[in-house]
Every structure is written in C-alpha cells, then in structure tokens.
C-alpha cells in the first residue's frame, strides 16, 4: 500500500505545483452552477435545484480532474514506468483514486458552502452529519469510478470527449443519489432524513462495487496500449 501512497503523493505534488484544481476547476465549477441557474432562469430556485447543481457541477469538474490525472501519466508515457515499478496495478488504481478523492473533496466543500450562501440554506444538528456523510461517500464514488474510466480511456486518441461519454451514464445514479441526500440535508420538504440516509447507503454500495471492480479491472486495462 506504500506504492499507492507514493502515487497519491506524487499526484498531489503535481497539483500543488500547478494549482490546477485550486485555481481553475473550483472557479469553473462555480461558474457551471451559476450558468445553469441562468440558462434555466428558474424563478423559484428551490432547494432541490441547489443540491442538484452542486453535484452537477462536481460531476463536470470530475471529468476535468480525471482527464488531467491521466494526461500527466500518458503525456510522456510515464505510466509505463509507473506500472512496471508498482508490481500490482491495483496499487496504482488506489493511489490515483486517493489523490482524486482529496482534490474532489476540497472542491465539493467549496461548492456546498457556495450553494448554502447562494440559496440561503442553513444546516444544523443531525443534518450536518448527513451532509458530511453524503459528501464523503459520493466523492469516494466519483473518485473510484472516475479513476476506472480515466484508465479506460487513457492513451486513447480524443479521450477528452470519450471520457464524459463513457463515465457520465455510469455516474448518473451517483448524481441522483447524492442530490437527493443533499436535499434532505438541506432540509427540503420533498424528502425526509430517513430517505436521505437510504440514499447514502446506496452511494456506499456504489462506491464499494466500483472500488472492487476498479482494483480487479485495472490490471487488464493496463495490458492494453498496443
């Protein structure tokens, strides 16, 4: 597991040096949230929309961060060395997923805060626990699925457009689950806390399934590259 940590550290080191997520993806995500609100010109932008927008923006940002995470590997064929040294591809998978998780987590925290300010939501008591759990479980799911699909398209020509095409449908359930659970945490009328926790359970299952699938599938994926 030491290898996974090395890989994660390296990815975060690169992020720290380039400040890509910090300086660009975060503003991009905020912009996506605002753009939607504008394009749909929703008069009474209800809480459900607030929650949905947070996760939509996160979803699109995930595409950017994943692309970046694999671009640095394939730009100069560094992944070949990495896989050779790692012995088990699954370690690389978890390392990259961990780095992705850290970056997405920071992003989601900012977005949730922004949504709370923009839509005047206050969250307290047991709702905070729900909110934190949702954010962690949904973000883990995004990180695991994102890494898996990032590896699928890595090194493919025109992968920028292939990644969203492949990953978005798979992530759609995550999007829905996370939105509903966040709505519950935001105190929306249309969904109660129990329901929110049910969604969190689903997110957890999703994450576990993709974690297992990823660590198993990563190895054959890395065999490709003809």
Partner 1 sequence: MTNSVASDTTIHLSNAVVALGGFPALAGVTFGVGRGELVALRGANGTGKSTLLRLCAGLVPLTRGVAVVAGVDLLVNRVAVRPHVGLLGHRNGLYGDLTAKQNVQFVAGLVGATASDVSSALERLGIDQRVASTQASLLSAGQRRRTALAALIVRRAQLWLLDEPHAGLDAAARRELDVILRDATASGATVLYTTHEIDQVVGTPRTITLDGGCVASDVAATIGSAP
Partner 2 sequence: MHTATTAAPGAAARTGTRTTRVIGVLALATTAFVVVSAFFLTPADSVQGDSVRIMYVHVPTAWVAYLAFITTAVASGFSLARRHRTLGFDRVAGASGEVGVLFMAMTLLTGSLWGRLTWGTFWQWDPRLTTTLFLFVTYVGYLAVRRIDTDPRQRARRSAVIALLAVLEIPLVHFSVVLWRSLHQEASVLSPDGDVRLDDLMLFTLFAGVAAFTLIFAWLVIHRQRLTALADIRQTVGLDAAIALRRSETRGVVK
Backbone angles phi, psi at 68, to 5 degrees: -60, -45
Distance CA 9, CA 151 (A): 19
78 lines the binding site for its own copies (CB under 8 A): no
Q: Which two tokens stand for residue 163?
A: 């990644």
**Least Å from the CB of residue 24 to its own copies:** 4
Question: Contact at 8 Å (CB) between 169 and 32?
Answer: no
Of the candidates 56, 72, 31, 90, the residue with the CA atom closest to the CA atom of residue 164: 56
36 binds, among its own copies, partner 1, partner 2, none (CB under 5 to 8 A by kind): its own copies
Q: Which two tokens stand for residue 31?
A: 């912009």
Distance CA 168, CA 166 (A): 6
End-to-end CA distance of the chain: 28
**Least Å from the CB of residue 82 to partner 1:** 7
Instruction: Enumerate residues 176-215 that contact partner 2 by CB under 8 A.
Output: 209-210, 213
State CA 175 to chain mean position distance: 10
Q: Which two tokens stand for residue 95?
A: 């390392």
**Least Å from the CB of residue 36 to its own copies:** 7
Q: Which residues of 18-36 are buried (b: 16+ CB within 10 A; e: fewer)?
A: eebbeeebbeebbebbeeb
Total length of the chain: 226
Which range touches partner 1 (CB under 8 A), out of 44-52, 69-77, 118-126, 137-145? 69-77
Distance CA 213, CA 217 (A): 6
Q: Which of 75, 122, 125, 223 binds partner 2 (CB under 8 A)?
A: 223
Which range touches partner 2 (CB under 8 A), out of 71-79, 101-109, 125-133, 162-170? 162-170
Instruction: Enumerate residues 70-129 that contact partner 2 by CB under 8 A.
Output: 117-120
Which range touches partner 1 (CB under 8 A), out of 5-13, 31-39, 42-50, 201-209? 5-13
130 binds, among its own copies, partner 1, partner 2, none (CB under 5 to 8 A by kind): none
Q: Which of 9, 13, 16, 35 binds its own copies (CB under 8 A)?
A: 35
Q: Which of 16, 31, 201, 216 binds its own copies (CB under 8 A)?
A: 31
**Least Å from the CB of residue 187 to partner 1:** 42
Helix (H) or strand (E) holding 169: helix 159-186
Per CB under 8 A, residues contacting its own copies are 18, 20-21, 24-25, 27-28, 31-32, 35-36, 38-42, 48-49, 52-53, 55-56, 59-60, 64, 67-68, 71, 157-158, 160-162, 164-165, 168-169, 172, 175-176, 179
């Amino acid at each position: 597991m030491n290898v996974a940590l090395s890989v994660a550290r390296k990815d975060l080191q690169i992020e720290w040096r380039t400040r890509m997520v910090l300086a660009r993806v975060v503003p991009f995500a905020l912009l996506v949230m605002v753009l939607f609100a504008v394009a749909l010109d929703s008069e009474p932008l209800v809480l459900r929309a607030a929650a949905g927008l947070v996760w939509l923006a996160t979803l699109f940002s995930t595409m950017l961060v994943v692309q970046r995470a694999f671009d640095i590997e394939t730009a100069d064929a560094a992944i070949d060395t990495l896989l050779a040294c790692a012995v088990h591809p699954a370690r690389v998978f978890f390392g990259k997923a961990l780095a992705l998780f850290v970056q997405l987590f920071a992003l989601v925290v900012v977005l949730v805060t922004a949504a709370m300010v923009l839509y005047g939501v206050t969250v307290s008591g047991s709702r905070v626990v729900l909110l934190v759990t949702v954010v962690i479980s949904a973000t883990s799911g995004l990180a695991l699925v994102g890494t898996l699909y990032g590896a699928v398209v890595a090194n493919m020509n025109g992968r920028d457009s292939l990644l969203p095409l492949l990953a978005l449908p798979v992530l759609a359930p995550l999007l829905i689950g996370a939105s509903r659970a966040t709505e519950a945490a935001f105190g929306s009328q249309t969904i109660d806390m129990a329901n929110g926790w049910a969604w969190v359970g689903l997110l957890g299952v999703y994450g576990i399934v993709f974690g297992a699938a990823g660590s198993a599938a990563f190895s054959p994926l890395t065999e490709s590259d003809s």
